[in-house]
Structure 1
Amino acid sequence: MNWIREIAYKLHLIKLLSILYRTRLLRFLIPVAIIVFVYLEGQKQFREINWGSMIHEFHHMRPFTIILLLSFSFLAVSVMSTYDLLIRRHFNLSIGFWDTIRYGWIANTSNNLIGFAGLTGAGLRTILYRNRNVPIGSIAASVAFLSTITFTGLSLLAWLCIIGIFPVQALLQAHPWLAYAMWAIALYLPLFVLFQRTSLFSKWFNRNQGQLNWRIMTASVGASFLEWFFAGMTFWLIGATFLPEITFANALGIYTIAAIAGIISMAPGGIGGFDLTAILGLQLLGFPPDKCAVILVLFRILYYIVPWLIGLMMAAFEFPINRKRTEQSDGSIMERALNFWQSVWGWPGQFGFIGEVGAWSLGKLVFASGVILLLSAATPGLLYRIHYTEQLLSFPIMRLSHQLTIIIGIMLIMLSRGISLRVKRAYYWTLFLLCAGSFFTLAKAFDYEEAIFLLIVAVLLWISRHRFYRLAIPVGLYNVLGWGLITLLIVYGYYLIGSQSHPAFLNHLPKRAHSAWLLDPSQHMIAAIFGLLVAWLILSLLYLFRPKPLAIGETAADEQSKLKGFLEKEQGNLLTHMLFTGDKSFFWAMDDQILIPYAKIRNKLVVLGDPLGPKSMINAAIQQFQQFADQFAVEVVFYQTTPDYLPFYHENGYRFFKLGEEALVHLDNFTLVGKQNASLRAVKNRFEREGFQFEIVQPPHDTLLLKKLSIISDQWLDGKHEKGYSLGWFDKDYLQMAPIALLKSSGDHIVAFASLAPGYDGSTTLSVDLMRYLKGTPNGTMDQLFISLLEWAKSQGYAQFNLGMAPLSSVGQSRTAIKEEKLARILFQYGGSWYGFVGLRRYKEKFSPAWEPRYLAYPSSVSLPLLLVELVRLISRHPNKNK
């Protein structure tokens, strides 16, 4: 198995790419680059903004105006649910009317803010519709159809700009490239009309229903037009609040071109491209930069952020309904009625299972809570509220509350990951910090809006307390570095906002009243650094005193004894003898009737072979083990599984990768007679003439023999360390577990040896385990050892002998094989320069074995290239380093 080490070197590039994939850096490189470009291009406009004046405008908004704008924003967002009503009607989806509206809000608000070319909305719709048992074919067709119509409304608005209804000439003259972008979007509508008449559209986007009739066509374009038109109306109403002179036509024209720029930028929510274009368009109309900035910030908050937060709260309660229980119900009113106290206290625990969408949403709400706390600390408070708070609390307490708000904000941001992964300890700490944060936001400047939001999130978290069951999650170096970078960037953002907004606001005031409360840049820097250090210190201490995520150690002696007793009544397999090496842990399922041996590598539990025990219990045992692993947020992988057990893995959602084939010699058919075995006969005759002797020694083995074998092993290793997991290694206690085959020269010197591994199947199967030989032995030494082993096993009544696996053998031969197996096939064919894959199979073919495939069963959420690298590390890991 030296191929393992060679593969490790060849897969370093795959490992690096997998790390990039896992950290999702590649997914964000283009949008981040565009945002940086937009910032550099828009520095002139940004420098002209009076941030103090902007904050002053926010502070003097009347509550009635905010409620009115927020209400219209909600109406504009609700209009987007016409998409979902359209596909519900067109594809006959079995979803209720209000469910459709709710799902549309969740998917559309997340898609608005996060974007990624509509993938966010498509993914959320898929999850939500699947929870209502909508067939996956209908979901795929509806999502694909929806992706083709979303830009038709913006295309129609672009035509209104082209014909002059919405004046945009000044903006196009300032940036001529926007004219090309506007024409590109405008041409989308006629191209869509032509495209929907093709067979390609009918097959892939309209579920073989042919071209769209004019009623559906009109409804599709109308739904898209309503989305973009009402969004533009929201932009106009917000603009008219601060700039009464702005006309409806000018506002819609600026919004249309800005929306096109945002789409071209490919950034989430069009951030950067949309904002810079909108500010430029408003400034070209002669409006002051600070009021333009207020309009953009308020539009982002009211149309994007607040609806998204509400969508997250909705999504937190979305979970698959217990269909089985519903079907068994007779539907009576009394049965459906719940006692109010039970519904409040026990809900939603009685439902048992809550989907991933809810946990993800709660995590994002907690993250948003942390950001809101930092923004609250970075921006100046309302002076009349500060004055009111000063009458109740002393100034030092207000400053202390300000600092604690920063610390709590940073901690909530870092704990949000634990909430998304449903960690119980993260739930308790987050609930405490949300309550504490709401108190300190009141104590620092009576910011009751932030306090109310934090308390709402805390209530949602408490209601969802039953979903937090995980004891711990694996935390690796990349996790720590990633969150360290995120918190540094967020704290740096806090410093930038605070250091600019406070002095600007102070300069904007007619009198320097309450100037003692406004912080200068150096104070913000100190507060940011101190808050970051304290937050990391507290979380580091919590991490140090946490329960161990999953303690993996050597198999204890009592577990070995339990294994021996188990094998006396249950059959093993070809890998069972590896369990006595001591580097694997045992999971006893189904009341100790099923044994699942595993080892841990990073965030995966790798099971060696198939579970042992009655087949009737295997499926339930796998699920029990998955639940055990899920408590620690680790995945379960099955290594070297056999074809007979594939249905069990398939039923539990696993994918498969063929590792190679096992060479099994049926001893009844083994013979040296015949022309094809002439080379083996020649080897046997030559070694017998030269006086070589074959011997099987039974345990217990004496110390002198093991010492001699140790010398041979050390010479064979030649300074390399032993491998483990699926391979045996030279360990005196382990070698005492089975017979050892010796090949001696005429001088009674041992030149080669092989330890044997029983199959624990009633003396039916025998395997070769550890094989070592001295340097300088004659050619054919291992051939002679194998010949002698096969003949001896046949004489002892064994039915088959296992020669071991040929890696990558017969992998990826089919034209329709998965791409990873096709790559493995190329490696098998052309990898002879650094490892003889083909040669190994040809060598074992000399003994006429039957080939049985071996597979890797892995969850769909696991990256296969990264998993292969981790398996290489697991097998190559020194046997004594199994933690």
Structure 2
Amino acid sequence: MKFSKQRIMTIAKIILPIVLIGFIFYQGQNELRSLSLKESIQAIRQVPSWQFILLILSGLLAVSTMFFYDFFLLRSLEAKAPVGLIFRASWIANSFNGIIGFGGLAGMAIRSALYRPFVEGGRLLKAIGWMAPTLISGLSILSTLSLLHIFPAFEVLEMKKWLWPVIIGVALFFPLYLLFSFRRGNSSIHPKSIALYSVVSLAEWFSAGVVVYLILAALGTDVSFAKVIGVFIIAATAGLISMVPGGFGSFDLVFLIGMQRAGVEEGIVLTGLLIYRLVYYLIPFLIGVVFSAREFSGPVVKMIEDKPIVGPSVEVGGVIWRLQLRFLSKIRHFTLALITLVAGITIWGLAILPPVSTQYEYLESKLPHEALLLANSFFLMGGLLFVLLSTALYRRTKRSLYMMYGASFFALVGMALRGFNLISFLAVVVVLALLLMSRNAFHRERTLITTSRFIRVAFVGLLYIGGFIFFGYAFYALGSADGTEVYPSHEIFMFAASSSIFALVYGLVFIRLFNSFNQPVLGERFDAEKIETVLREQGGNYLSHLAFLGDKRFFFSETGRSFIQFSQTGNRIMMLGDPSGDPKEHSQVIASFLRRVEDLGYIPNIYQIQAQNMSLYHDFGFNFFKLGEEAIVD
């Protein structure tokens, strides 16, 4: 079996990051064994809310430095885009790249879509391509400073010698890139642009290191600023070669090893890394989703929806642009579903441990203990519904939107009665705010509940609750051993059972009521006179006469001059042949019919089309297969 060069590169891009991450974790397995749950929990609880807010602001300020990438990019192209749009587009592109990545496709797609009105697409893509390598030039400069012992971290390099070629290679990147660029000449990228991008890159990486230092300082460590920045540089280079968005895993482990050598307790380092991921990646990503809800709800989304994904390249603007349109048409809903899923998992983690706050102590003195346990069950129920409904949110169904409103209500009630916590408050309120902002995008009435979907949802629910019981018991065992305050084992089981029952009852009652008050109808019943009028005035096709069997329903165009005949079988809609009536309306009536079918949660199929219309159905995304032959016999 022969492999093409492109196929080998594709396989390598998948396997290499996995191998690198596995190697890094193998190197740090001793450090992983020494992690202390008790220290991590205690460190998180000791951070005051006001200090946590300041850390969030420092993370947002560090992310905002990347705005100047886009500012200098458009200035080099002499494009006059509003500064506000540049800031929002830059924030969306960079925050999405940090979480989603896709090899930089996320940032390229967003910039191409939002800057396209101000600069020609080919020039823009070329400029972005030349800007991309400079994004790590700042880390290259910092790596050089680390090798010069300005930001010392040699003890980490001596302990993990395989990191030496990594940091030396990253340090050499910037001078080699300069040499390559100058040999190509000024037609490729101007030296001034390289200098400006490099300054921004240096500010970006350095400010991220400052955020890490501030987090560790807030957790009570006394490690010097130079030492923290030095370890951060080594960890960032390890994260860079792993090719995982944000260096997840590889960065964290190398930073953990380095700070342990600097005398910081493992639990505090782990807590600092969790806070860093929150304030530098997750919260900016949430803000990016809010910005994207604004930017991609107007002309950009209309352009995406109006143009078929598959079609002549001259209409869409080339293969790359078609891929970008497809990416952007899905990313808004994907990120909302992802955030909801993460919020549900966050609630899961918070519900395992008793809250520690003066509000909880006050509630405990005023309310029965059983009421507080019921509140935690409601809180966990909200998290369970968040996880189960995340896929339905991606499908944009109204039923899932309204169910999420109820889930958010139960989560907020549970949170109010179990004691206020900033993380749980953000987890629920951010999801609720995004749902309210995106409510107009939920045009589908529902998705049909099939046996396979029910089994998948049940499996996810059991996994969620089973994991809660398992880790709850594990925390109980650890807490009993080291004195950490945890829920007793019988209460853990009670939370799991009651929240599951609450979620099941809520789902069944809600779906029953929703279906009772919302019974949408697709198409019309057989009307012989109306159909005969269309066929007589506009003409039909070789299957139009089958309409008079009276066993099908009919979808008419807005003008009433054409129609589609179809029937429903389970969760599928079977269209019989091409539309009948005015040929000029065929594309329009198919588009309207498919939109309505999608809104009702059905899967469209077409039986027996004419060969000359294959390109039309191809543009609507249909796949083809040959079922048989047809003959005319005398």
Report whether the alignment pairs 1:382 with 2:356.
yes
Report the equivalent of 1:713.
none
Report whether the alignment pairs 1:418 with 2:395.
no
Distance in 1 (alpha carbons) for counterparts of 2:343 and 2:610: 49
Is contact 2:381–2:411 with CA below 8 Å preserved after alignment? no
Report whether the alignment pairs 1:76 with 2:78.
no
Distance in 1 (alpha carbons) for counterparts of 2:205 and 2:464: 32
Q: For each residue in 1:698-756, what CA deviation from the matched residue of structure 2 results, as whole angstroms up to 9, or x when unmatched?
A: xxxxxxxxxxxxxxxxxxxxxxxxx7xx878xxxxxxxxxxxxxxxxxxxxxxxxxxxx
Structure 1 segment 123-138 matched on structure 2, within 5 A: 123-129=109-115, 135-138=120-123
Distance in 2 (alpha carbons) for counterparts of 1:608 and 1:182: 64
Deviation at 1:438, TM superposition (A): 0.9
Q: Which amino acid aligns with 2:209?
A: G
Structure 1 segment 169-208 matched on structure 2, within 5 A: 169-196=154-181
Is contact 2:381–2:410 with CA below 8 Å preserved after alignment? no
Question: 1:632 pairs with 597, 600, 609, which one?
Answer: 600
Distance in 2 (alpha carbons) for counterparts of 1:606 and 1:83: 51
SS of equivalent residue, structure 2 residue 150: coil
Is the deviation greater in 251-260 or in 558-567? 558-567
Distance in 2 (alpha carbons) for counterparts of 1:233 and 1:503: 37
Report whether the alignment pairs 1:96 with 2:82.
yes
Report whether the alignment pairs 1:263 with 2:240.
yes
Question: 2:377 pairs with 396, 403, 424, which one?
Answer: 403
Greater helix share, structure number: 2
Report whether the alignment pairs 1:295 with 2:280.
no
> Identity of paired residues, percent?
25
Deviation at 1:258, TM superposition (A): 1.3
Q: For each residue in 1:303-324, what CA deviation from the matched residue of structure 2 results, as whole angstroms up to 9, or x when unmatched?
A: 112222222223233335469x
Distance in 1 (alpha carbons) for counterparts of 2:505 and 2:21: 33
Q: For each residue in 1:669-695, what CA deviation from the matched residue of structure 2 results, as whole angstroms up to 9, or x when unmatched?
A: xxxxxxxxxxxxxxxxxxxxxxxxxxx
Q: For each residue in 1:358-413, what CA deviation from the matched residue of structure 2 results, as whole angstroms up to 9, or x when unmatched?
A: 54444344333322322221233115332111133211010011112112101112
Deviation at 1:235, TM superposition (A): 1.3
Structure 2 CA distance for partners of 1:521 and 1:268, relative to 1, 3 Å: farther
Is the deviation greater in 77-86 or in 371-380? 371-380
Question: 1:570 pairs with 525, 538, 560, which one?
Answer: 538
Q: For each residue in 1:103-144, what CA deviation from the matched residue of structure 2 results, as whole angstroms up to 9, or x when unmatched?
A: 2112212221232332333344344446x6765435533443
SS of equivalent residue, structure 2 residue 556: strand
Structure 1 segment 504-583 matched on structure 2, within 5 A: 518-521=486-489, 523-524=491-492, 527-528=495-496, 531-532=499-500, 535=503, 538-539=506-507, 547=515, 558=526, 563=531, 566-576=534-544
Is contact 1:317–1:358 with CA below 8 Å preserved after alignment? no
Report whether the alignment pairs 1:391 with 2:365.
yes
Q: Which amino acid aligns with 2:428?
A: L
Report whether the alignment pairs 1:368 with 2:354.
no
Report the equivalent of 2:555.
587
Deviation at 1:251, TM superposition (A): 1.3
Is contact 1:76–1:227 with CA below 8 Å preserved after alignment? yes
Greater strand share, structure number: 1
Structure 2 portions without partners, runs of 5+: 1-11, 303-327
Distance in 2 (alpha carbons) for counterparts of 1:29 and 1:599: 47
Distance in 2 (alpha carbons) for counterparts of 1:197 and 1:272: 36
SS of equivalent residue, structure 1 residue 587: strand
Distance in 2 (alpha carbons) for counterparts of 1:59 and 1:485: 33
Report whether the alignment pairs 1:52 with 2:52.
no
SS of equivalent residue, structure 1 residue 596: strand
Report the equivalent of 1:224.
201
Distance in 1 (alpha carbons) for counterparts of 2:79 and 2:572: 38
Structure 1 portions without partners, runs of 5+: 1-25, 203-208, 326-353, 661-722, 729-767, 770-784, 790-883
SS of equivalent residue, structure 1 residue 519: coil
Structure 2 CA distance for partners of 1:373 and 1:478, relative to 1, 3 Å: same
Structure 2 CA distance for partners of 1:270 and 1:482, relative to 1, 3 Å: farther
Distance in 1 (alpha carbons) for counterparts of 2:120 and 2:608: 34
Distance in 2 (alpha carbons) for counterparts of 1:191 and 1:316: 40
Is contact 2:525–2:552 with CA below 8 Å preserved after alignment? no
Distance in 2 (alpha carbons) for counterparts of 1:460 and 1:658: 38
Q: Which amino acid aligns with 1:259?
A: A
Q: Which amino acid aligns with 1:186?
A: A
Distance in 2 (alpha carbons) for counterparts of 1:623 and 1:727: 28
Question: Which structure has the larger Rg over C-alpha atoms?
Answer: 1
Is contact 2:577–2:606 with CA below 8 Å preserved after alignment? yes
Q: Which amino acid aligns with 1:305?
A: L
Is contact 2:49–2:422 with CA below 8 Å preserved after alignment? no
Deviation at 1:485, TM superposition (A): 5.4
Structure 2 CA distance for partners of 1:356 and 1:495, relative to 1, 3 Å: same
Q: Which amino acid aligns with 1:410?
A: L
Distance in 1 (alpha carbons) for counterparts of 2:567 and 2:140: 56
Report the equivalent of 2:107.
121
Is contact 1:474–1:602 with CA below 8 Å preserved after alignment? no
Structure 2 CA distance for partners of 1:459 and 1:278, relative to 1, 3 Å: closer
Q: For each residue in 1:494-539, what CA deviation from the matched residue of structure 2 results, as whole angstroms up to 9, or x when unmatched?
A: 4565445566566666xx8xx6xx3135643553465456535654
Is contact 1:604–1:634 with CA below 8 Å preserved after alignment? yes
SS of equivalent residue, structure 1 residue 286: coil
Distance in 1 (alpha carbons) for counterparts of 2:477 and 2:77: 57
Report whether the alignment pairs 1:241 with 2:218.
yes
SS of equivalent residue, structure 1 residue 296: helix
Structure 2 CA distance for partners of 1:605 and 1:425, relative to 1, 3 Å: same
Deviation at 1:472, TM superposition (A): 1.3
SS of equivalent residue, structure 1 residue 118: helix
Q: Which amino acid aligns with 1:366?
A: T
TM-score between the two structures when normalised by the length of structure 1: 0.59
Distance in 1 (alpha carbons) for counterparts of 2:38 and 2:146: 35
Distance in 1 (alpha carbons) for counterparts of 2:16 and 2:461: 22
Q: For each residue in 1:205-262, what CA deviation from the matched residue of structure 2 results, as whole angstroms up to 9, or x when unmatched?
A: xxxx822221011112222222211111111222233354312222122112212222
Question: 2:151 pairs with 166, 176, 182, which one?
Answer: 166
